[in-house]
């Protein structure tokens, strides 16, 4: 039994290098425990896995040369699956992915078996990560603060379910290129100065601003575009779960808008229809002008 230690929670390269070495040395999945950093390191922990050096054999000239290592191939889809699944917060993800790799050597088309428990679990991890990425892109709300030099900086607070912050960073740097911004999360913070993306240790919600001058305007706009006739509460909650509401400036309006939706919709139905003004195009001396019905009665 061995312990395999990875540098951090999304150490995909570390996992891939260790998995390759373990596979080449024939270490079965049940003989491994995967850890991040120094977690679980004590007197009774399993010994750390150290890859064995390559064996050498003598050439005809008496000089040592490396023995050709055992070659193995994996589907390209497996690498893509691993790179996404490793962003999940499930501590068992490293063992699951190595178990899939081990089984792929005997079942090359394993990933096509959607009913297989390991394959189904890995696909569920990927689906959850993709959903979390989508929600982060949709529900991050920046608030403006003034820096000491008078420039504006935009700060946002977000609590992802998984380790997706660094995967989402390129999206925000591409979309808000001309803004100086920071996105704070409990695990890691991202900073963009207009040219360079950098990271720092995680923060708390208290480190983020709670309000800015533009939020009243945003709430007025949100209230004005709310259409009670198109409201579907179950669909709205599926796309915007309540756990995200606490970070949205428009959230205080939602419950009231839902409660008033029936009355507002009835008022819309009961209201007298309005007749739009009809525009009539009139040609005069090779020039085109537009007049309304009311104007036609003048003169």
Q: Using CA atoms, how far apart are residues 220 and 271, in angstroms rounded to an integer?
A: 23
Query: Which residue in 97, 88, 94, 137 sits closest to 118, CA to CA?
Result: 97
- pLDDT given for residue 67 in this prediction: 39
For residues 15 and 123, membership in a common domain is answered with yes
For residues 194 and 220, membership in a common domain is answered with no
Print the domain residue range for 115. Answer: 2-54+68-133
- pLDDT given for residue 287 in this prediction: 56
* pTM, entire model: 0.73
Specify whether the CB–CB gap between 127 and 119 falls below 8 A.
no
Residue 277 in domain:
no
Half-sphere exposure in the Cβ direction for 13 (13 Å, CA) = 1
Q: pLDDT 10s digit of each residue in the chain, 299 long?
A: 889 999 999 999 999 999 999 999 999 999 999 999 876 665 556 667 665 554 444 344 444 444 344 567 888 899 999 999 999 999 999 999 999 999 999 999 999 999 999 999 999 999 999 999 999 999 999 988 888 787 889 999 999 999 999 999 999 999 999 999 999 999 999 999 999 999 999 999 999 887 776 777 777 877 777 777 777 777 777 777 777 777 777 777 777 877 777 777 777 777 777 777 776 666 655 555 555 555 545 54
- pLDDT given for residue 96 in this prediction: 98
Q: Which pairs count as long-range contacts for 79-85, CB under 8 Å and 24+ apart, including other chains?
A: 81/111, 81/122, 81/123, 81/126, 82/12, 82/15, 82/16, 83/12, 84/125, 84/126, 84/129, 84/130, 85/122, 85/125, 85/126, 85/129
Residue 167 in domain:
yes
For residues 148 and 242, membership in a common domain is answered with no
For residues 201 and 248, membership in a common domain is answered with no
For residues 13 and 93, membership in a common domain is answered with yes
Residue 236 in domain:
yes
- pLDDT given for residue 50 in this prediction: 61
Work out how many domains the chain is built from and give that number.
Answer: 3
- CA angle centred on 188, ends 185 and 194, rounded to 5°: 90
For residues 16 and 117, membership in a common domain is answered with yes
Query: Which residue in 126, 192, 193, 189 sits closest to 158, CA to CA?
Result: 189
For residues 187 and 258, membership in a common domain is answered with no
The count of residues in the chain is 299
Residue 103 in domain:
yes
Specify whether the CB–CB gap between 155 and 172 falls below 8 A.
no
């Amino acid at each position: 039994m061995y312990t395999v230690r990875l540098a951090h929670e999304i150490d995909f390269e570390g996992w891939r290098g260790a998995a390759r070495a373990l596979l080449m040395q024939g270490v079965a999945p049940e003989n491994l425990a995967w850890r991040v950093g120094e977690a679980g390191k004590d007197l009774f922990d399993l010994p750390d896995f150290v890859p064995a050096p390559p064996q050498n054999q003598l050439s005809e000239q008496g000089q040592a040369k490396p023995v050709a290592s055992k070659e193995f191939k994996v589907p390209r889809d497996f690498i893509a699956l691993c790179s996404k699944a490793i962003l999940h917060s499930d501590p068992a993800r490293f063992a699951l992915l190595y178990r899939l790799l081990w089984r792929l050597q005997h079942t090359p088309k394993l990933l096509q078996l959607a009913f297989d428990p390991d394959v189904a679990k890995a696909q569920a991890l990927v689906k959850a990560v993709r959903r979390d990425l989508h929600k982060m892109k949709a529900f991050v709300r920046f608030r403006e603060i003034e820096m000491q030099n008078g420039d504006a900086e935009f700060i946002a607070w977000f609590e992802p379910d998984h380790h997706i912050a660094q995967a989402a960073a390129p999206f925000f740097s591409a979309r808000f290129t001309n803004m100086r911004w920071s996105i704070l999360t409990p695990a890691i913070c991202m900073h963009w100065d207009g040219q360079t993306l950098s990271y720092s240790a995680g923060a708390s919600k208290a480190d983020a601003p709670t309000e800015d001058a533009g939020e009243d305007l945003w709430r007025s706009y949100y209230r004005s575009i709310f259409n009670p006739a198109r409201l579907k509460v179950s669909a709205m909650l599926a796309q915007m779960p309540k756990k995200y509401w606490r970070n949205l400036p428009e959230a205080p309006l939602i419950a009231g808008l839902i409660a008033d939706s029936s009355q507002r919709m009835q008022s819309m139905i009961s209201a007298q229809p309005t007749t739009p003004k009809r525009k009539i195009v009139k040609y005069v001396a090779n020039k085109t002008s537009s007049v309304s019905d009311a104007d036609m009665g003048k003169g």
